[in-house]
């Protein structure tokens, strides 16, 4: 039987976060451009293959998949759009992630790159995956979750075009997919580690710091995304839908406001995309970093105030004191201001800003895909007999 790789696929409004078993997590901006051809001859014979590490930033792929309306077409995906200065298609604010093409296009590109990184010299690859997926609280229903899992399941082909002219064909077989609410996905990575063991987390008990496992605790996962913010209540990894809710905004709108102000003030040095904005904002050595961070301060403080009020109200509405975990890329942007605001109000007890908040959902989904519960669902849905048959 082909080895099945487990992966967590968190297709966000702003970027796809992909956590594949035994690999460093990857990130791809959520955008694509349909390749229309070259307007001049390129000296392809002088161009080399893209080295494995840079594959992710140079995605130029033909995707054959029944799950997308651009089936069979060539797509430029993610960061390469910025480098090539192309106009991109992105997710609309009110998009439905379970029907839109973009999450599939970006996810398949990522899964293909992940396979190519393992065997960069091969021209044809076959790879089997089991994947965990996620949808926002506000839009997830049993039907939407099933639809999302179903369209990913099955075979897809991704042909990666190197500038040298060499093409690599990756046959991706997604054996089984399951979709959780965003935020609830992250709880799997908070409660368990990738080996399925209970993770020990540091908590405050009175004035002491102690180590505790979280499988039987009330958790509030606060996921600040680009387009949505999830407030997810769980008992361990058990999702409590009645107490959970979502806000239909995240950090992107605020960052775009800052971008507009920057462009108004710097008409000669405009910032044209979110990727470019992030390149400046998250790189302290970028020559424009300090000015941009300075300019963004009031807007971020405003958003932090808004969200800290929301977090505090949420905690107060809950019967039990929850352990709060703040995740999502928004948590990275807002950490300092949000922490300061909560601190000023004396509300930081058992509020954890997790490490690598951007990848919390993706790594949680990977832990879920590795779990015995996922395997049991797979056996039930596909039939244990069918799996045993394949194992022969
Ligand atoms: N290292 C980073 N690189 C890029 N963006 C980052 C980084 N850290 C934080 N961000 C910012 O975090 C914000 C939210 O990102 P995140 O990836 O959590 O959103 P998303 O999952 O794409 O969106 P959603 O969950 O709403 O669908 C973005 O506005 C982005 O600018
Ligand atoms: Mg997200």
- Are the C-beta atoms of residues 11 and 97 closer than 8 Å to each other? yes
Are residues 383 and 308 part of one domain?
no
Mutate which of 329, 330, 355, 360 for ligand 1 pocket (most atoms within 8 A of beta carbon): 329
Would you state the structure tokens that stand for residue 258, as one six-digit string? 């800052």
pTM of the model: 0.94
What residues does 233 pair with on adjacent strands?
Answer: 220
Q: What is the CATH number of the domain that holds 345?
A: 3.30.420.40
Q: What is the DSSP letter of 46?
A: G
174 forms bridges with which residues in the sheet?
129, 154
Q: 291: which 2 tokens?
A: 């000015």
Tell whether 260 and 380 lie within a shared domain: no
| Ligand 1 atom with least separation from CA of 252 | 29
Does the residue 193 lie in any domain? no
Q: Which residues pair with 93 in a beta bridge?
A: none
In angstroms, the CA 318 to CA 171 distance is 47
In a domain, 191, yes or no: no
123 Cα–ligand 1 center, Å: 33
Judgement on whether residues 345 and 379 belong to the same structural domain of the protein: no
In this prediction, residue 286 carries a pLDDT of 97
Same domain, 270 and 323: yes
The ligand 1 site (C-beta within 6 Å) comprises: 12-15, 182, 225-228, 250-252, 255, 278, 282, 328-330, 332-333, 358
Nearest CA to ligand 1 atom 15: 329
336 and 301 in a single domain? The answer is yes
What was the pLDDT predicted at 274? 86
Q: Is there a single domain that holds both residue 174 and residue 247?
A: no
| Nearest ligand 1 atom to alpha carbon 91 | 27
Nearest to 34 by CA among 99, 95, 105, 98: 105
Ligand 1 atom closest to Cα of residue 230:
25
Neighbour-count burial of 26, counting CB atoms closer than 10 A to its CB (0-12 exposed, 13-18 middle, 19+ buried): buried
For residues 187 and 36, give the distance between their C-alpha atoms in angstroms, rounded to a whole number.
Answer: 42
Residues 44/161, Cβ–Cβ less than 8 Å: no
Please tell me the total count of domains within the chain.
Answer: 2
Residue 350 lies in a domain: yes
In a domain, 190, yes or no: no
Does one domain contain both 383 and 303? no
Going by C-beta distance under 8 Å and a sequence separation of 6 or more, which residues neighbour residue 200?
A: 211, 212, 213
Residues 6 or more apart whose Cβ sits within 8 Å of residue 65: 71, 104, 108, 156, 157
pLDDT, residue 89, reads: 87
User: What sign does the CA torsion over 67, 226, 201, 214 have?
Assistant: negative
User: What whole-number distance in Å separates Cα of residue 358 and Cα of residue 363?
Assistant: 10
349 & 374 share domain: no
As a whole number of angstroms, the distance between CA 277 and CA 264 comes to 15
Q: What is the pLDDT along the chain (392 residues), one digit of tens a residue?
A: 579 999 999 999 999 999 999 999 999 999 999 998 877 665 555 688 999 999 999 999 999 999 999 999 999 999 999 888 888 888 887 788 999 999 999 999 999 999 999 999 999 999 999 999 999 999 999 999 999 999 999 999 999 999 989 999 999 999 999 999 999 999 999 999 999 999 999 888 778 899 999 999 999 999 999 999 999 999 999 999 999 999 989 999 999 999 999 999 999 999 988 889 999 999 999 999 999 999 999 999 999 999 999 999 999 998 888 999 999 999 999 998 899 989 998 888 899 999 999 999 999 999 999 999 999 999 999 987 555 555 54
Question: Same domain for 171 and 213?
Answer: no
The answer to whether position 335 is within a domain reads yes
Whether residues 239 and 129 fall in one domain: no
Query: Same domain for 319 and 223?
Result: yes
61 and 133 housed in the same domain: yes
pLDDT of res. 392: 47
User: Do residues 203 and 210 lie in contact, with contact meaning Cβ atoms separated by under 8 Å?
Assistant: yes
Query: What residue numbers bound the domain in which 375 lies?
Result: 4-181+364-391
Nearest residue by C-alpha to atom 4 in ligand 1 = 278
């Amino acid at each position: 039987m082909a080895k099945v790789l487990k992966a967590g696929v968190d297709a966000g409004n702003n970027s796809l976060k992909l956590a594949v078993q035994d690999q460093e997590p990857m990130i791809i901006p959520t955008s694509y451009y349909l390749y229309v051809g070259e307007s001049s001859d390129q000296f392809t014979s002088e161009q080399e293959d893209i080295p494995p590490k840079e594959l992710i930033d140079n995605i130029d792929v033909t995707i054959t998949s029944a799950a997308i309306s651009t089936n069979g077409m060539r797509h430029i995906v993610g960061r390469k759009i910025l480098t090539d200065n192309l106009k991109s298609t992105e997710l609309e604010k009110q998009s439905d992630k379970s029907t839109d093409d973009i999450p599939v296009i970006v996810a398949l590109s990522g899964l293909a790159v992940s396979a190519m990184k393992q065997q960069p010299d091969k021209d044809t690859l076959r790879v089997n995956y089991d994947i965990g997926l996620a949808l926002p609280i506000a839009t997830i229903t049993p039907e939407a979750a099933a639809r999302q899992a179903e369209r990913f399941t099955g075979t897809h082909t991704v042909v990666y075009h190197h500038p040298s002219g060499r093409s690599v064909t990756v046959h991706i077989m997604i054996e089984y997919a399951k979709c959780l609410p965003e935020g609830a996905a992250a709880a799997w990575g908070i409660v368990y580690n990738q080996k399925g063991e209970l993770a020990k987390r540091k908590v405050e008990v009175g004035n002491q710091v102690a180590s505790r496992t979280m499988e039987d605790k009330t958790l509030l996962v606060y996921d600040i995304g680009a387009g949505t913010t999830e407030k997810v209540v769980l008992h361990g990894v058990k999702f409590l839908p009645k107490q959970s809710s979502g806000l239909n905004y995240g950090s992107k709108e605020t960052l775009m406001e800052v971008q507009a102000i920057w462009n108004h003030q710097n008409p000669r040095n405009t910032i044209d995309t979110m990727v470019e904005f992030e390149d400046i904002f998250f790189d302290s050595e970028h020559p424009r970093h300090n000015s941009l961070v300075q300019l963004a301060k009031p807007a971020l403080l405003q958003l932090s105030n808004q969200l800290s009020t929301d977090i505090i109200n949420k905690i107060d509405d809950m019967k039990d004191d929850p352990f709060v975990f703040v995740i999502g890329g928004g948590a990275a942007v807002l950490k300092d201001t949000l922490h300061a605001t909560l601190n000023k109000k004396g509300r930081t007890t058992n509020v954890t800003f997790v490490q690598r908040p951007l990848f919390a959902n993706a790594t949680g989904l990977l832990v879920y895909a590795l779990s015995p519960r996922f395997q049991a669902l797979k056996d039930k849905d596909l039939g244990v007999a069918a799996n045993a048959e394949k194992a022969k």
